[in-house]
Amino acid sequence: MTNSSTGEDFQPFLPRNARRMACFLFLCFALFGCSKPPALPALDANATVLAFGDSLTFGTGAAVNESYPAQLKTLISRTVIPAGVPGETSADGLARLPGALDEHQPKLLILCHGGNDFLQKLGDDKAAANVRAMVKLAKDRGIAVVLIATPKPGLSPTPPDFYVAIAKEFSIPVDDTVLKKVLTDSDLKSDLVHPNASGYRVIAEVMAKLLKKAGAV
């Protein structure tokens, strides 16, 4: 196509514009993918991290030293207390959390709860309220919090939106992808709803990376 007033051929500009758009989109995706989570206080060498949750935190499906808290301890060189109770609902977790915080005095709480609510069909609203209350309880005590979102069972397990909403409300980091990745990969699972040692390793590596990006370690 030719500009009738100047005689310039427009064809060479179309690929150039396309390349510019491609570069622009690449930069947008790169910036989005590299975005930092909300900042966390730096954990000194003696700080305690409390990994709190249900069987996914306990490490069901793997040996004790292969749970995600045990593997995370090695990756971040901090004390990581495993405080997972298999079968526990978020309501039970909320009742148990104050005692765990009193006992361990953590500087950071990694909270992974809600899975048993979904399995027992107790309702997303109740799970959301209990997870939010646990986050608030820790934050009110000056304890930093990181959320791990648990997917709901189904053909395409996906965490409910409330995890991200709570994280935004309290300006805390959240990972809403790693459990979905692990629990949809048969090579990373010990049964239908639990990781194996390799799956827990993936969770630990993702959490270590998140803590580093957030400035905690």
Whether 207 is covered by a domain: the verdict is yes
Q: What residues make up the domain containing 144?
A: 48-213
Are 24 and 83 found together in one domain? no
62: amino acid identity, one letter:
A
Kindly report the number of other CB atoms within 10 A of residue 67's CB atom.
28
CATH number at 165 reads 3.40.50.1110
Whether 41 is covered by a domain: the verdict is no
pLDDT in tens, 106-138: 999 999 999 999 999 999 999 999 999 999 999
pLDDT in tens, 166-193: 999 999 999 999 999 999 999 999 999 9
The secondary structure of 181-197, three-state, reads HHHCCHHHECCCCCECH
Are 90 and 122 found together in one domain? yes
The phi, psi pair for 111, rounded to 5°, reads -105, 125
Are 17 and 103 found together in one domain? no
Q: Mark the ranges of the chain whose per-residue pLDDT is less than 50.
A: 1-15, 18-19, 21-33
The number of folded domains in the chain is 2
Rounded distance between C-alpha atoms, residue 74 and residue 196, angstroms: 18
Are 24 and 57 found together in one domain? no
What 3-state class would DSSP assign to 111?
A: strand
Are 114 and 202 found together in one domain? yes
Cα angle for residues 205, 210, 214 (degrees, 5° grid): 150
pLDDT of residue 8: 41
Are 31 and 87 found together in one domain? no
Rounded distance between C-alpha atoms, residue 110 and residue 97, angstroms: 12
* Entry pTM: 0.84
